[in-house]
Structure 1
């Protein structure tokens, strides 16, 4: 997904605009025959659906894509762009090829890693420093290490047998509770109330998220990435009865009609800012729950909610 056009100083040549996302080209690639240029993310995602050029429909495959000519790269590099942290007070306007080096040093970057000077020496994001507690953080690190030691010590066959027996007992208890709910409607109502309460409690514990780069959304996350996000979600206290369903809803094959294809996402892009999003701690991912997004059109939300994973752009 390209850079937002309104971030650039002065006019941008139309040759530098991606025909797919209408942003300024980011890591561009071009088609082999017609030489139309696109953001690499945009064209690779497009080709997963149809192996043709989006402009003239000439057949192409991902392997046929090639870097854009040097003259086009030079034109891009000279474009003047506002810093990503303009919303946090940075007034810098730099050449596009200097943007990344500027961001690494930008004093207005809320996520810039800084060393705690109060005693623990840990590195924390700048915007979390005011709430940083040395004792609590060091205790967490110590507990994590102790947990690793315990896990190593309990890898013996005897402990594995005990774990297997406990899992069997948990399964039997779940089946017993299921039969009770089936025979008693009031129990079903009570469980529903408890589950809804658990969801609200979890949502209230999460920090509101601000997505600055919707174009960084990963619509087809692989199994490894989903497993990482699922673990972070569970660690955040996500109720067990919705964990798996939310993670299944992290892939576009389960998304509602308004998000299910690249074309519909482009059409609905202006509505994304209306989402109420909560950040999955420590990850470039947000959860968009139906109970917090009743104001959104039905084709942009799903029960119980969506998990959106990003390559970058979540604060």
Structure 2
């Protein structure tokens, strides 16, 4: 839609008029073959119904046949003097057509001119919305939008974490396969059996939740037979592979622990290192599993193969 002709002080040449809307050309385009010019919005709306020139009715391709009008026509348009869009609101300014956009953004009579709220919220609002602007309501709305954005980001992070966990489990499986193939020697089991055991181990570990120990001082280093039986049953119910179950429970006593944990004195010395363990919780019990494959960074003095079970009086989350 073009500019209303009544907004111009001088007489406008009819060559600068759009034959579709009858107004002065706005964002004009030209048809390549016949050189007829129209408002960009007018001719695109026209082509939604029929793809012919509005003047001579010759076929037109909207994609290939529309071009920019010649410079002389654009210059003639830019020099026309036009009244401000906000004339009805009190603005008496008359500017060149090519300066209309810049003036509109700065016009003091523009009802949509952005202004800072003078009530203290610090938001920028359109001038005509200032009287009904509610700082508390707008800030609450802004807070909700930010909260929704944070929720979206948290959801994306959670999805990425799940993907990373899946990749981590796959890496562990490959790692266990490689380790089992390297360590497997002549014995009762073939390399294939060792590989299958490694896969079972990693799959089981992936079902256990990560544990957090709040009170390492609650560690029970010499659990009695009854306590060991309770933890062993819980491990079995969690799906712990049978080839691991016996070894892990044997390693639940300090006599099978590595040198860094084997005595009360060494446990006191290494207490600060405990937080570096990668731990999995025995479901429903105050006990954790520390597997060698997940704790190679701890060194031989702090881990034993294939892993160990630590039982606590309290403090496991």
- TM-score, normalised to structure 1, is 0.47
**Structure whose CA Rg is larger:** 2
